C-alpha cells in the first residue's frame, strides 16, 4: 500500500514531527499556515456586515428628532390608544349584556325598559347624598323607578318630579326613602331561611334594624328587598349586607343590626334604571 493512500497517518506523522521541532524553526511557517486556514474557514463577515448596514441602517443613528422616527412613534401611540379604547368598549358592552341578562332572569315579566343613566354631581339643594342623573321622562323614567347596578344591586329610587332630560337619585340609606321592609338571608344555599326586618336610615348612608339575637344573624349576610310599596321588579334585589350586630341595652334579648348599602352612588359613573313610564321620544332607543 502506498503512503499517499493513508492521509491520516501522514497527518499524524507530520504533527508528531512538528511537535518535537524547535519553535524558532517552525514558528514562522505555522503562523503563515494558520493565517491561510483561517481565511479559508471564516466567512467574509466584515463585507456582509457592511451590506446589512447599507440595506438597513441602525436605529441608533436616527435620533428622536428624526422626522421618520417621529412619524413612526406617533402612529404607534395612535394605534395603541385606539386598541385600548376598543378593548374598554368591548368590556363595557359585555358588562351591560351580563347585567341585562341578570335583570331579565330576576324579573321576566318585561313590564319595564332598561335605561342607562350617567351619574352627575350631587345636588345639595335636594338633600345630602342625592345625585343627579343625566336622563329623564324623555326615556320613560318616572318617579319611584329603581336604579340598579350589576344586575341585582339596588342603588336607590328616582326622586319626585323628574325632568325631561334629568332626574334625581335617592340612594339606599337616605332618610327620604323612609322605612324599608326587607329580609336578612340567613341561609342562602340551604332552606333559604330569612328573617323579616324593617330598615331605617341612621345617618352616614347606613341603615339599622332590630333583630333577634339568637336568630342567626351574622355580619356579611345579604339583605334583600321585601317591600310591597316598591316596584314588583325590585323585590328580592340586594339592599346591602349586615355590617355588625350588637345587643340592645333596653331589650337584652334583642339586637341591633347595622346594614351597609351594597352601592355607594357617589362612586358610580353610571346606573341602570328599570323605567316603568312611557317614553315621550318615539325614536329613543330602548333595551
Q: For position 282, what pLDDT does the model report?
A: 46
What CATH number was assigned to the domain covering residues 103-175+267-275?
A: 2.40.10.340
pTM for this predicted structure: 0.62
Superfamily of domain 178-262: Rod shape-determining protein MreC, domain 2 (2.40.10.350)
Q: For position 63, what pLDDT does the model report?
A: 65
According to DSSP, the β-strands at 194-203 and 153-158 are unpaired
Q: In the chain, where do the E strands start and end?
A: 113-122, 131-133, 146-149, 153-158, 167-171, 180-185, 194-203, 206-212, 222-225, 238-247, 254-261, 270-275
Q: For position 26, what pLDDT does the model report?
A: 66
Q: What is the pLDDT along the chain (287 residues), one digit of tens a residue?
A: 555 567 777 777 777 776 777 777 666 666 666 666 666 556 555 666 666 766 666 655 566 677 888 888 889 889 999 999 898 888 878 877 777 776 677 666 666 788 889 998 776 655 567 899 999 999 989 999 999 988 789 999 999 999 999 999 999 999 999 999 999 998 877 667 899 999 999 988 999 999 988 888 999 999 999 999 998 888 889 999 999 999 887 777 789 999 999 999 888 888 999 887 666 554 443 44
One fold for 103-175+267-275 and 178-262: yes
Q: For position 43, what pLDDT does the model report?
A: 59
Q: What is the largest CA-CA distance in the chain?
A: 123
Q: For position 283, what pLDDT does the model report?
A: 44
User: Where in the chain are the domains?
Assistant: 67-97, 103-175+267-275, 178-262
Q: For position 167, what pLDDT does the model report?
A: 94
In the three-class reduction of DSSP (H, G, I as helix; E, B as strand; rest coil), residue 204 is classed as: coil
Q: For position 3, what pLDDT does the model report?
A: 56
Q: For position 110, what pLDDT does the model report?
A: 64
Residue with cell 501522514: 10
Amino acid at each position: 500500500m502506498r503512503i499517499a493512500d493513508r492521509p491520516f497517518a501522514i497527518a499524524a506523522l507530520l504533527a508528531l514531527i512538528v511537535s518535537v521541532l524547535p519553535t524558532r524553526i517552525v514558528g514562522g511557517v505555522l503562523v503563515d499556515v494558520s493565517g491561510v486556514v483561517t481565511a479559508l474557514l471564516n466567512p467574509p463577515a466584515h463585507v456582509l456586515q457592511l451590506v446589512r448596514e447599507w440595506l438597513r441602517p441602525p436605529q441608533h443613528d436616527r435620533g428622536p428628532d428624526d422626522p421618520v422616527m417621529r412619524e413612526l412613534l406617533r402612529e404607534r401611540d395612535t394605534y395603541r390608544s385606539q386598541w385600548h379604547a376598543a378593548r374598554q368598549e368591548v368590556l363595557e358592552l359585555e358588562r351591560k349584556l351580563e347585567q341585562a341578562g341578570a335583570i331579565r332572569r330576576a324579573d321576566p315579566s318585561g313590564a319595564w325598559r332598561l335605561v342607562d343613566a350617567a351619574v352627575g354631581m350631587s345636588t345639595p339643594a335636594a338633600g345630602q347624598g342625592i345625585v343627579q342623573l343625566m336622563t329623564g321622562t324623555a326615556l320613560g323614567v318616572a318617579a319611584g323607578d329603581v336604579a340598579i347596578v350589576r344586575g341585582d344591586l339596588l342603588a336607590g329610587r328616582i326622586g319626585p318630579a323628574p325632568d325631561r332630560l334629568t332626574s334625581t337619585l335617592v340612594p339606599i340609606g337616605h332618610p327620604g326613602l323612609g322605612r324599608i321592609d326587607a329580609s336578612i338571608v340567613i341561609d342562602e344555599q340551604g332552606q333559604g331561611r330569612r328573617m323579616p326586618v324593617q330598615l331605617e336610615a341612621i345617618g352616614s348612608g347606613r341603615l339599622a334594624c332590630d333583630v333577634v339575637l339568637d336568630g342567626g344573624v351574622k355580619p356579611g349576610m345579604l339583605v334583600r328587598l321585601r317591600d310591597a310599596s316598591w316596584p314588583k321588579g325590585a323585590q328580592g334585589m340586594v339592599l346591602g349586607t349586615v355590617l355588625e350586630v350588637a345587643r340592645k341595652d333596653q331589650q337584652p334579648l334583642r339586637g341591633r343590626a347595622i346594614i351597609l348599602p351594597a352601592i355607594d352612588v357617589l362612586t358610580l359613573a353610571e346606573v341602570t334604571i328599570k323605567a316603568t313610564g312611557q317614553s315621550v321620544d318615539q325614536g329613543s332607543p330602548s333595551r
